[in-house]
């Protein structure tokens, strides 16, 4: 497998998952700030011009974070990231989609790239505040999925890929206070050897 990624972007979650399963893979860094993701060579690989992009061993390309996370987990069943229990697997997929579609696309997009929502710089502070509120409200929902007694409280799943990057952004980039179960899960993910390798490879100092 080959991962196309940008340091610190959401692709860090797939990077984490690949390090966790322990299978050999390649990685290629893209400089999104200079528009490398829109160069013809990459558009031939992924016309959506975004990361993460995963090229499988057979040459086929996968896009979209939830799909890639599920595929990586399924490719290494011995890693235990694809829950055998149908309910747990459904909840992992549900949580992954919510983290990506709501906290990332609605919340963090406003925080990191307010110009996407309004071209007037005078409106950007208000848009970023709105983004923070979306993230805070979203984390309260996520907390219910991770707290003691919840289906996803104990054990790993492919949802950890999305939890890893969303909580990395919330805790280490935006410096938000996160609910206790979210903080506990991120602390465990961050303390792993896989996370240490990912941060080192992406040049992220915490």
Which domains can be identified in the chain, with CATH numbers? 2-80+197-201 (3.40.30.10), 86-192 (1.20.1050.10)
Q: Are 52 and 65 in contact (CB under 8 A)?
A: yes
Question: What b/e sequence results for 94-115 when a residue is b if at least 16 CB atoms lie within 10 Å of its CB, and e otherwise?
Answer: ebbebbbebbbeebbbbbeebe
pLDDT at 80: 95
The segments of the chain whose pLDDT lies below 70 read: none
pTM greater than 0.85 (yes/no): yes
pLDDT at 172: 98
CA-CA-CA-CA torsion sign (204, 43, 105, 114): positive
Q: Are 179 and 143 in contact (CB under 8 A)?
A: yes
pLDDT at 30: 98
What is the distance of C-alpha 11 from the center of its chain?
Answer: 6
**What does the angle CA 47 – CA 52 – CA 54 come to, to the nearest 5 degrees?**
80
């Amino acid at each position: 497998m080959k991962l196309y990624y940008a340091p610190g972007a959401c692709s860090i979650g797939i990077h984490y998952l690949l390090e966790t399963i322990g299978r050999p893979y390649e990685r290629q860094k893209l400089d999104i700030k200079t528009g490398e993701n829109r160069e013809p060579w990459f558009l031939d690989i992924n016309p959506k011009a975004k990361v993460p992009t995963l090229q499988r061993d057979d040459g086929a390309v996968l896009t979209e974070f939830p799909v890639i996370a599920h595929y990586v987990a399924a490719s290494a069943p011995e890693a235990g990231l694809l829950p055998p229990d149908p309910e747990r697997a459904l909840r992992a997929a549900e949580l992954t989609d919510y983290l990506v579609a709501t906290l990332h696309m609605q919340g963090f997009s406003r925080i990191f790239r307010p110009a996407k929502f309004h071209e007037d710089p005078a409106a950007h502070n208000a848009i970023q505040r709105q983004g923070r509120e979306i993230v805070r409200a979203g984390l309260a929902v996520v907390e219910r999925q991770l707290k003691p007694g919840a289906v996803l409280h104990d054990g790993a799943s492919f949802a950890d890929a999305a939890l890893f990057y969303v909580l990395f952004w919330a805790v280490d980039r935006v410096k938000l206070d996160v609910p206790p179960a979210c903080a506990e899960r991120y602390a465990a993910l961050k303390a792993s050897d896989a996370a240490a390798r990912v941060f080192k490879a992406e040049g992220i100092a915490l």
